[in-house]
Amino acid sequence: MSSSTVQTIIASYSSPLIKAYSQVRFLILRQTFLEEIDQYLPKRGRILDLGCGFGLFSLFFASMQRERELVGVDFDAKRVEQARASAEKLGLTNATYHHGDVLEWESSGRFDAIYMLDVLHHVPPEAAPGLLAQLRGKLRPGGVLLLKEVANRPYGKMLFTLALDRLMVGVKDPIHYWDPTQLQSVLQGLGFDVKRHWMRDVLPYPHVLYICRLSA
């Protein structure tokens, strides 16, 4: 079901370029990874997707559990517009999208879960702790913050990922791959109970998933 759900979402996009981009994203963050992340999200409640892009992953999570309320935010207005159009086409009334900068967007109310998938390494490292503190403030007691990030090691895998990132965003945008121990320390300093683990992949990506919980 999950794989066919992703393909249905990709088919809902109007542009062949967006469909091709989404296929590439799905090759990087595949069904097994989405299912692994999905197990940590509540089956019902309010969930924030920061840096949602075209809505590929938020539409997936909204499809898997209709009692979830997915809220997506992205700085690219055209991507947000496409995510909204796809949600309408798919009949997903539990997925809404907003245009805004992840560093500045203000929400009304708190969330049961927040996730960022490959977003934090595009945030300047000096701004990251402040952003994470903001996210902590947006969570309800007992809420979970999920971060899927690229580690700065092994060095060869990091360079491979960096080359692909540069192809996607160009040479000017900041990219900072965190040392896993350092990022975990920042998150613990904000009051999260943090568990992290490597996400095994046949492809040379140093994926790390951080599961960060607040006490109830």
Each of the 216 residues of the chain gets a pLDDT tens digit; together they read 466 888 899 999 999 999 998 888 877 767 778 888 999 999 999 999 999 999 999 999 999 999 999 999 999 999 999 999 999 999 999 999 999 988 888 888 899 999 999 999 999 999 999 999 999 999 999 999 999 999 999 999 999 999 988 987 888 888 999 999 999 999 999 999 999 999 887 778 899 999 999 998
d(CA 10, CA 132): 30
Residue 195 near residue 130 (C-beta atoms within 8 A): no
Q: What is the CATH number of domain 2-213?
A: 3.40.50.150
> How many whole angstroms from its chain centre is CA 148?
7
Parse the chain into domains and list their residue ranges.
2-213
What pLDDT, on the 0 to 100 scale, is given for residue 200?
Answer: 82
Residue 115 near residue 188 (C-beta atoms within 8 A): no
Q: Which helix (H) or strand (E) holds 155?
A: helix 155-169
Residue 5 near residue 38 (C-beta atoms within 8 A): no
What pLDDT, on the 0 to 100 scale, is given for residue 107?
Answer: 84
User: What is the number of alpha carbons within 13 Å of residue 71 lying toward its C-beta?
Assistant: 20
The model scores a pTM over 0.85: yes
